[in-house]
Amino acid sequence: MRILPKSKQSKQSKQPTKSILERSVGQKPGSLTVSAQALPPRLFLVTFNEKMYDAQEFGDYDSLMRAFQKFPEARHWIDVRGYGNVPLLERIMIDFQIHPLQMEDVINDYQRPKVEEDHNRLFIVSRMVAFTPDHKVDDDQLSIFTGSNYVITFQSDYEDCLDPLRERIRVGKGAIRKKSAMYVAYAILDVVLDHYFPAMAQLGEYAEELEDCLFENPSKKLLSQILDLKREVVKIRRIVWPERDKINEIMRMDEQTIPHELKIYFKDIYDHAIQLIDLVDNYKEITSSLTDLYLSNVSNRMNEVMKVLTIISTIFIPLSFIVGLYGMNFSRENPRGGINPLNMPELYHPYGYVTLLCVMGVIVSGMVYYFYRKGWLSNQ
23 inside domain: no
Residue that terminates a domain, selected from 243, 272, 296: 296
Long-range contacts of residues 23-27, Cβ cutoff 8 Å, at least 24 apart: 24/108
> Which residues have C-beta within 8 Å of that of residue 164, sequence separation ≥ 6?
1, 2, 191
| 277 and 351 fall within a common domain | no
> Which residues have C-beta within 8 Å of that of residue 100, sequence separation ≥ 6?
29, 30, 31, 32, 93
The CA distance from 244 to 212, in Å, is 33
Q: Does the structure show a pLDDT above 80 at 195?
A: yes
User: In this predicted structure, what is the pLDDT of residue 147?
Assistant: 92
Helix 196-216 to helix 181-194 angle (10° resolution) is: 10
| 260 and 128 fall within a common domain | yes
| 102 and 126 fall within a common domain | yes
The CA distance from 170 to 46, in Å, is 9
Q: Does the structure show a pLDDT above 50 at 285?
A: yes
| 70 and 191 fall within a common domain | yes
Residue that terminates a domain, selected from 265, 296, 327: 296
Q: What are phi and psi of 161, to 5 degrees?
A: -110, 15
User: In this predicted structure, what is the pLDDT of residue 294?
Assistant: 83
H helix or E strand, kind and range, residue 10: helix 8-14
| 228 and 351 fall within a common domain | no
Helix (H/G/I), strand (E/B), else coil: 228: helix
CA distance readout (Å), 261 to 122, 180, 185: 17, 11, 14
pLDDT in tens, 299-327: 878 888 888 888 889 888 999 988 888 88
CB atoms under 10 Å from CB of 76, counted, come to 22
Sheet containing 42-48: give its strands across.
53-58, 42-48, 75-81, 150-155, 137-146, 121-131, 114-118
| 290 and 312 fall within a common domain | no
103 inside domain: yes
pLDDT in tens, 348-359: 778 888 888 899
Helix (H/G/I), strand (E/B), else coil: 379: coil
CA distance readout (Å), 318 to 44, 281, 322, 347: 87, 56, 6, 19
Which of 136-140, 152-156, 375-379 is the least confident region?
375-379
Categorize the per-residue pLDDT at 379 as very low, low, confident or very high, splitting at 50, 70 and 90: low
Q: Does the structure show a pLDDT above 50 at 79?
A: yes
Among 204, 72, 68, smallest CA distance to 137 is for: 204
144 inside domain: yes
Q: Residue 139 sits in a domain of what CATH number?
A: 3.30.460.20
Q: Are 151 and 47 in contact (CB under 8 A)?
A: no
Confidence (pTM)? 0.76
CA distance readout (Å), 195 to 102, 135, 270: 25, 16, 14
pLDDT in tens, 25-71: 667 776 788 888 889 999 999 999 988 999 999 999 999 999 999 99
Bridge partners, residue 288, by sequence: none
User: In this predicted structure, what is the pLDDT of residue 25?
Assistant: 62
Which of 91-100, 283-292, 340-349 is the least confident region?
340-349
| 159 and 89 fall within a common domain | yes
What is the β-pairing status of strands 75-81 and 121-131?
A: unpaired
What's the whole-number mean pLDDT along residues 249-263?
A: 91
Among 208, 214, 229, smallest CA distance to 293 is for: 214
Angle at 226 between CA 225 and CA 229, to 5 degrees: 85
Structural domain span for residue 369: 304-374
194 inside domain: yes
Q: Residue 361 sits in a domain of what CATH number?
A: 1.20.58.340
DSSP string, 320-359: HHHHHHHTS---SB-TTS-B-TTS-GGGGSTTHHHHHHHH
What is the β-pairing status of strands 75-81 and 150-155?
A: parallel
Compute the mean pLDDT over every residue in the chain, rounded to the nearest whole number: 85
The CA distance from 140 to 143, in Å, is 10
Total domains in the fold of the chain: 2
